[in-house]
A and B are shown apart, each in its own frame.
Chain A
Amino acid sequence: DADVTQTPRNRITKTGKRIMLECSQTKGHDRMYWYRQDPGLGLRLIYYSFDVKDINKGEISDGYSVSRQAQAKFSLSLESAIPNQTALYFCAAGTAIEQYFGPGTRLTVT
């Protein structure tokens, strides 16, 4: 079984729609992260959580929000999607210096 799972794997949505990406992990890690990957830019941190009550903004949090529903679940929301949020989104869980990534969600905003 994969340690970190993400749903959906692919999603196409329209500008202005609200969308939620979900992430679950099975290894009991306290720390969870959301990244987006864009060509030529690598992975950039959107939000991170060190435990259920600790949520922190990353370097590109504008336009996104998160919810840590339980230690194992960390969801990312786009309240009003825009085309430049088209990207590959990764969730990760793990220790401070070794993170385990999910398979990614490819999001297209038209």
Chain B
Amino acid sequence: DQQVKQNSPSLSVQEGRISILNCDYTNSMFDYFLWYKKYPAEGPTFLISISSIKDKNEDGRFTVFLNKSAKHLSLHIVPSQPGDSAVYFCAASAADYKLSFGAGTTVTVRA
């Protein structure tokens, strides 16, 4: 049973607008959350992370929000650019330091 879920397999957004990607988790032991980005024919690359002691982390155009009571996190990309078109994976880690991944959301940024 997947402990990290990304319920939207795809997202299409116009260039310059905001992209919002969502992720839900079930394991209350998760204490660190990450987003990875993947282009075709490449491996995933680390994008941004957040610890469970925070509710927001920002890095340039990327912001991750964590709502622990709802077991929900989201990634905001503002403004969206064509180079942001990729698959985005949400991942979570507990004290054993293994990562559990969601199924991914494919983002397409339209010009």
Q: Which of A9-47 contact B (CB under 8 A)?
A: 31, 33, 35, 40-45
Q: How far apart are the CA atoms of A3 and B100 in the complex, in Å? A: 22
Residues of A within 8 A of B2 (CB): 41-42
Which residue on A lies nearest to B42, using beta carbons? A103
Tell me the nearest residue of chain A to B43, going by C-beta. Answer: A101
Q: Min CB distance, B78 to chain A, in Å? A: 24
Chain B interface residues toward A at CB < 8 A: 2, 4, 6, 9, 32, 34, 36, 41-46, 49, 89, 91, 93, 97-104
- Total chain A interface residues with beta-carbon distance under 8 A: 23
Chain A interface mostly helix, strand, loop or mixed?
A: strand
The 8 Å CB contact of A97, one of B97, B100, B103, is B97
| Contact assessment for B98 and A43 in the assembled complex, using a CB-CB cutoff below 8 Å | no
Interface centre among A92, A97, A102, by most chain B C-beta atoms within 10 angstroms, is: A97
Contact of A44 with B43 in the complex, beta carbons under 8 Å? no
